[in-house]
Structure 1
Amino acid sequence: MSSSTPCAAPLEQARHHTSSNRLIFISVLVATMGALAFGYDTGIIAGALPFMTLPVDQGGLGLNAFTEGLVTSSLIIGAAFGSLASGYISDRFGRRLTLRLLSLLFITGALCTAIAPSISFMVGARFLLGIAVGGGSATVPVFIAEIAGPKRRGRLVSRNELMIVSGQLLAYTLSALLAALMQIPDIWRYMLAFAMVPGVLLLVGTFFVPASPHWLASKGRLDEARQVLEKLRETPEDAQREVEEMREQHEHARQRPPIGELLRQGWVIKLLLIGIGLGFTAQFTGVNAFMYYTPIILKNTGMGTNAALTATIGNGIVSVIATLLGIWAIGRYGRRHLLMTGLVMVVVTQVALGCVLTFMPQNLTQSYTALACILLFLLVMQMCIAPVYWLLMSELFPMQVRGLLTGTAVSMQWLFNAAVAFTFPIALAALGNPTFFAFAVINVGSLIFVFFCLPETKGKSLEQIERHMKKELV
């Protein structure tokens, strides 16, 4: 009996290691169903818009440039409200319950967009769906960051971005396939209806994941937090070390002023402004002008509707590949380094696209050269900027108000997204191709902001980041 004991311990450790990895994998997979829905719902509009612009008697909704922007941006404005509200709800009631509520909104919103009889109904349905998208964008990265340990946080949180771009790729591919296979005018309704699927998966999955241990600790439920961490971490020592850090943080939080007073402290306000500035940086790259309107940009070069939809699949493929590269890069390089590298390349590609559309003759060569510029832009954006943005949103803010401040910063990001989505078709109609040069100038300003204002967070625990931010920004 005694001779088998030394062998039993390593075997038990191996089983626990496998079990903890499995639970983290399941938790991340379930949470990122919200990101998959986010990606699909924001991507599918690119395939649906060309059909929704058809007259009502031909199965469309009769959209013009103004109502195109309205339908597209209504989801994004809803997302601003959703991210702000979810920040409060997730701090008050927990990340898991918030994800469960959001899944119901994903399902309901997708169904309503699919049956929309009019533009006003569609705008309202997209707004409802946007509440779910925004809520998921604020809650999913925080939940993953709090489930993962410091060693794996960067790569696991970055899977949120991987699922967003996978959802967009799914949307582009499905819209092209449906347009090719089903020659019916209201095909856009089927495209939008498929968005219910990730919502259902998220709803079911939330019954199989643990509560966030950091949220439990913030509520003083340290014993429950320890029980969860013992299931999630590779060794009891890792779990105990994290519990002690959270206990210390909780004791500090009890000595802090009330939340209202904390939110008025200079270092917290500076952090929030940095978070808002990062949202501006991410959105005014112009990324969603391409994600929503690439088919329309390519049609303006003379490419046909079905060909433009098929070409847009390239957006999704490049985004997925770039995000995988980004997950690798985040493990090796600092957040600041990746963001600044990405912004330099974004400026170059925006200028190149503006030159192609302005100076090349309108023919097939121009179409494919423009597409190449867009794909290179997306490669850089999805590798160096987007995953870093969502990772920073999960890291920057103090535990006591993490959900609220993340929700606030992300809601502003969605408003910036809405501004780009709403004004881009109008600017393109009014200004033409110089629109892309304007994006390049804005991104030079964003580069200066990141250089001077963004602290580095790589390699620190959430508690260490909080202490570092307070010391640096006071």
Structure 2
Amino acid sequence: MYCISNIYALAAFGTIGGALFGFDVSSMSAWIGVDTYTEFFNKPDSNLQGGITASMSAGSFAGSILAGWLSDILGRRYALMIASVVWIIGAMVQTSAQNVTHLVAGRVVSGLAVGVTSSQTCVYLSELAPARIRGRVVGIQQWAIEWGILIMYLIAYGCAVGVSGPAAFRVCWGVQAVPGLILLIALFFFPESPRWLASKERWEEALETLAMLHGKGNRNDPVVQVEFEEVQEAVRLAHESKDISFLALFGPRVWKRTMCGMSVQMWQQLLGGNVAMYYVVYIFEMAGMTGNTTLWSSAIQYVIFLVTTGVMLPIIDRVGRRSLLLIGAVTCMIVHFIIAAVMASKGHPVPDVNGNANLTWEIKGNAGMAVIAFSYIFTGIYGFTWAPTAWIYAAEVFPLKYRAKGVGVSAATNWIFNFALAYFVAPAFHNIQWKTYIIFGVFCAAMTIHVFFMYPETSGRTLEEIDLVFETDVKPWRTNQIGDKFGEEIERHKETVDSKKAGGATHEEVV
């Protein structure tokens, strides 16, 4: 069967798995302020709405835990195929929802699929991509999430203003099945991960796939040969160790990597992205916006998110992971504290906002516009830094033997905090109002310290070289001092080939 060999084409289709996450995010965030939705589901209060929103994250947590096991047994490609089918089923269940329980069940099923795709798409693409562009290739997944958020939000907006009655949200939720179907069909034309093939000792297929992806089909290309040697060594070391369980991820040689992978996903959530993504409509309503103005203002925020990540992806491998994470944490901390200060000094408590009893704080006029402006700034910073980088970093830090399960556990960490925050933010806006931003600002301060002292740089290195980074005693803030072993090996290989050619030519001359 014909296989797609262009890494960017693979990333474009493969990251539809990320778009599924984005579709599910805005399929809910777009409706929480629309009467059609709230009336049909009996005007859920802040606690119930938090539970509805968070139900997808609960399913994603379970899916992430299962993802590593599924991916290791069946392969990265087949795991994503199964997730695509589950996603389509989840969309059908949501579309037919008759009550809150029915809707929550559909979101949990969709979440199972997102748990697999959010973790294993990163693994798959990181194992396909060459080191020099791995960041931008894996980072395309985050960009796909943002495209999914924006596209579904605009579909929801169109349904809200152009379709009457419950059919409005049913059409919107039904459309979610389309990208799942596209991904399922595309995966039939994808190659399997060469590193997974090697782990199953399918060496010929692994070498053929590496040659197709990195050497235009030439098995003797120096890059292909050196990478194949590194994969062989990684597999040899993996086979020498015992079969691993999830507990093995916390063993003596791996626990630091596991902590990096899990914590970077935890901090991505605690940075405050959920405030901007899930409940952006609430923020704008508190600032005095109503109706279609609120919906369009929210769409602008999603566009900013999309553009900033798109601008960063082409250069993300040159900037480095540590720099982006540190800059993002510090600047987001400042923005959170500014928003809290403006809301506290210029806002006031109210029984409800435009009839929405879930909101008990109002801030209008220039101060309200300032809150909106800083919300846009936060989204831009998040799009430049933590949104793409956290997924890339988690996909890079684990060795081959542990990668699928390790990234699965890391993604599960993302989803359990996503669940907690999706549930927490709606009641928080109701009960503690502006103090919500103080909490996220403190989280940003804590993650800045953690990243500086515990996260080594991984940008520009092969996955096998990253093993060396974690096995040295070099402090995380000095890991740039470790040389480029992969580049040195390519040069050595070229010199060997050249010397053999020169030797052959000399022999012919003598003859």
Same fold (TM over 0.5): yes
Corresponding letter in the other structure for 2:393: L
Matched, 1:118 2:99: yes
Superposed CA offset, 1:431-452 (max 9, x none): 1111111110111011111011
2:227 paired residue among 242, 246, 271: 242
Rounded to whole Å, the distance in 1 between the matches of 2:153 and 2:37 is 19
Rounded to whole Å, the distance in 2 between the matches of 1:359 and 1:264 is 46
Matched pairs, number: 454
Rounded to whole Å, the distance in 2 between the matches of 1:263 and 1:115 is 41
Rounded to whole Å, the distance in 1 between the matches of 2:128 and 2:310 is 21
Mean CA deviation greater in 266-275 or 221-230: 266-275
Rounded to whole Å, the distance in 2 between the matches of 1:273 and 1:264 is 8
Rounded to whole Å, the distance in 2 between the matches of 1:185 and 1:27 is 37
CA drift of 1:145 comes to: 0.8
1:267 paired residue among 253, 268, 284: 253
Contact residue 91 and residue 401 of structure 1 kept, 8 A: no
Contact residue 73 and residue 422 of structure 1 kept, 8 A: yes
Contact residue 22 and residue 147 of structure 2 kept, 8 A: yes
Rounded to whole Å, the distance in 2 between the matches of 1:264 and 1:322 is 35
- The within-5 A match list for 1:335-414 is 335-360=321-346, 362-414=363-415
Rounded to whole Å, the distance in 1 between the matches of 2:277 and 2:47 is 18
CA drift of 1:262 comes to: 4.8
CA spacing shift, 1:262–1:303, aligned 2, 3 Å: closer
Corresponding letter in the other structure for 2:272: G
Partner residue of 2:440? 439
Partner residue of 1:104? 85
Corresponding letter in the other structure for 2:163: M
Corresponding letter in the other structure for 2:329: L
Q: Which runs of 5+ in 2 are unaligned?
A: 348-362, 476-511
Matched, 1:251 2:236: yes
Rounded to whole Å, the distance in 2 between the matches of 1:208 and 1:365 is 54
Q: Which runs of 5+ in 1 are unaligned?
A: 1-18
Contact residue 57 and residue 108 of structure 2 kept, 8 A: yes
Rounded to whole Å, the distance in 2 between the matches of 1:203 and 1:344 is 40
Contact residue 288 and residue 368 of structure 2 kept, 8 A: yes
Contact residue 27 and residue 210 of structure 1 kept, 8 A: no
Partner residue of 2:14? 31
CA spacing shift, 1:113–1:297, aligned 2, 3 Å: same
Matched, 1:89 2:70: yes
2:46 paired residue among 65, 74, 86: 65
Rounded to whole Å, the distance in 2 between the matches of 1:169 and 1:264 is 38
Give TM-score scaled by structure 2 length.
0.85
Rounded to whole Å, the distance in 2 between the matches of 1:230 and 1:87 is 26
Corresponding letter in the other structure for 1:240: Q
Contact residue 169 and residue 315 of structure 1 kept, 8 A: no
Corresponding letter in the other structure for 1:255: E
1:324 paired residue among 304, 310, 319: 310
Matched, 1:288 2:274: yes
CA drift of 1:32 comes to: 0.8
Which has the larger share of helix?
1
Matched, 1:127 2:108: yes
Give TM-score scaled by structure 1 length.
0.91
Partner residue of 1:278? 264
CA drift of 1:462 comes to: 0.5
Partner residue of 2:353? none
Partner residue of 2:174? 193
1:155 paired residue among 136, 139, 154: 136
Superposed CA offset, 1:201-235 (max 9, x none): 01111101100101111111111101111211135
Corresponding letter in the other structure for 2:72: D
What secondary structure sits across from 2:319 in the alignment?
coil
What secondary structure sits across from 1:62 in the alignment?
coil
- The within-5 A match list for 1:75-86 is 75-86=56-67
Overall identity of the aligned pairs, in %: 28
Corresponding letter in the other structure for 1:305: G
Rounded to whole Å, the distance in 2 between the matches of 1:374 and 1:318 is 11
Structure number with larger C-alpha Rg? 2
CA spacing shift, 1:61–1:109, aligned 2, 3 Å: farther
RMSD across aligned positions (CA): 2.0
